Structure 1
């Protein structure tokens, strides 16, 4: 029940944001920088409250546990190679078939100026990795593992992760990335390596978007 409510809160937030934009109440451009970080924080706090409410446990039970530096780095290194391979290969396929990138540059949606860039970095590189790993791996995947084998739990949690991002062009890559992050959590027993990988990918993506926005590298059509 807690897992279903957590997913309901998550997708409910997404639908509210999409609905407000469609109605013209909130325009995506510029508003994203103000809304998205708070949305991720709300999501993380909701999951933490649900766990405290139903299971009376702390953050350690959600996966915020220590892992040896050597083991954590070794698993992180394997995961980043596999994860980026999936992202790059799928990006090439999408570009070859459609002439566009798999992931749209969202940086302009945060607005312009240093404040917008700071909001994007705060959301993508810090808040999103923590809250999304808390939900999809620490809460959803771990909850599924109590009832299912590893593979079905990875598949279901990865599907939820990919659907959450509302990007049909990047769906297969996000599905694969969700699987890699779940595998990393399963093998390490801690959310920290998965958070590190998630933060790395988001930060690199943000840097690429920044370079594209400022004309430093070409932008796919």
Structure 2
């Protein structure tokens, strides 16, 4: 139901990740302050994994009393799923390039950035760079595709046509990153991810696309930062 959708997004994603987890870690005296850049990178990965576990826990708790389609969270590897993911990536590249140029004109280079990542790039800490890469290329695609394409998109198709469900889930996906300057490109990326998922019916496809996009982005930053 619509109530379950908002329960998962608000309670699972926002409340657990942005309120409960910081309060719990703070009460235990656990935080990134005072750590080296490598320590803060590792802390960021651990924090992300805890947030993902909490959000997916709320998702499971919310939907377990209800029947859902057996193909809703399909993760079976296949040649078709891989090709949809890789094909979607090569389609996304020129589209994202065009949107990036438009976004640059809108924000005039004033978009947000990750100061910790910038510090790590300047220090050329291999371990910290690897941790950032693992977070972006593996952890994020798995968690975000399960939540936004595996759960949210199919749920929205119960209330709207598939095209509108893809668009709305893409916008929510972008907004969840809490970066106003990145809403436009992330919405486009979310739309491509959603389209690929609806065609392949396998989460492997958007995970591959998402991982390829984040990997290429991170490698580009590493090269430029070096």
Q: Quickly name the TM-score band, shorter chain normalised.
A: 0.7 to 0.9
* 1:81 equivalenced with 2:90 (yes/no): yes
* 1:132 equivalenced with 2:134 (yes/no): no
Q: List runs of 5+ in structure 1 lacking aligned partners.
A: 215-221
**What CA deviation, in whole Å up to 9, does each residue of 1:137-157 have, x standing for no partner?**
111111111232101211221
Alignment partner for residue 16 of structure 1, among 8, 16, 19?
19
Alpha-carbon shift at residue 120 of structure 1 (Å)? 1.5
**What CA deviation, in whole Å up to 9, does each residue of 1:13-68 have, x standing for no partner?**
45339987xxxx956872534422322233233323433x222669x543224364
Alignment partner for residue 91 of structure 1, among 97, 100, 105?
100
**What CA deviation, in whole Å up to 9, does each residue of 1:78-120 have, x standing for no partner?**
4213322232112222334544275625662796634422321
Alignment partner for residue 100 of structure 1, among 105, 109, 113?
109
Work out whether residues 153 and 194 of structure 2, in 8 Å CA contact, stay in contact via their aligned partners in 1.
Answer: yes
Which residue of structure 2 aligns with residue 48 of structure 1?
60
Cα RMSD of the aligned pairs, angstroms, is: 3.1
TM value normalised by structure 1: 0.78
* 1:4 equivalenced with 2:6 (yes/no): yes
Following TM superposition, the consecutive aligned residue runs of length 4 or more in structure 1 with deviations greater than 6 angstroms are 17-20
Which residue of structure 1 aligns with residue 27 of structure 2?
none
Task: Name the stretch that deviates more: 86-95 or 96-105.
Answer: 96-105
Q: 1:18 to 1:27 in 2, by over 3 A?
A: farther
